[in-house]
Amino acid sequence: DVKVTQSSRYLVKRTGEKVFLECVQDMDHENMFWYRQDPGLGLRLIYFSYDVKMKEKGDIPEGYSVSREKKERFSLILESASTNQTSMYLCASSLFWTARTNEKLFFGSGTQLSVL
C-alpha cells in the first residue's frame, strides 16, 4: 500500500526554536508538497518540490524553508518558530503530472505543531 509518512503526529516547541518536520514517501513520486491547515482557511501551500534539490515557493512561504536531498524525503524547516506557526502541517506527494495522467495526491496524516 502506498504511504506518505510524517515523522511526528504531535509536536510542541518553544518560540525561537529551529523546527524540522520530516516527510517520507515510498512511491518514487517526483512531486512533494507541504501544506498548512488552519480552521476557516483550509489548506494553503507552503512549498513544493518537483525533483531532488528543486523547490518552489507556494502561497505562504514566509518563515519557512525546505530541503529535498533525496527523492523520498521532503523536510519543512521553521528557522525560528513563532506562535503564529502553530498549525496542522500536511505533507503530500504525487507523480509528475502530464496532460495524459490524472494521478492524485497522496497525503500523510499530518503533524499538529504547537509553538509556545
Residue 14 or 101: which CB sits closer to other proteins? Answer: 101
**Does 61 contact other proteins by CB under 8 A?**
no
Give the CA dihedral 81, 50, 3, 86, nearest 10 degrees: 20
Provide the grid cell at 88: 496542522
What mask, x for binding other proteins by CB under 8 A, covers residues 71 to 90? -----------------x-x
- DSSP letter at 80 equals S
Q: Return the bridge partners of 32, or none.
A: 49, 93
Query: Is residue 27 close enough to count as binding other proteins by CB under 8 A?
Result: no
Q: How far is the CB of 16 from other proteins (least distance, A)?
A: 27
* 51: contact with other proteins by CB under 8 A: no
Which listed residue (21, 23, 24, 92) binds other proteins by CB under 8 A? Answer: 92
Query: What cell does 30 get?
Result: 517526483
C-alpha cell at 6: 510524517
83: phi then psi, degrees, rounded to nearest 5 = -60, -30
Tell me which residue has cell 503530472: 97
* Shortest Cβ 2–other proteins spacing (Å): 12
* Residues near other proteins (CB under 8 A): 31, 33, 35, 40-45, 48, 50, 56, 58, 88, 90, 92, 94-99, 102-105, 107, 109-110
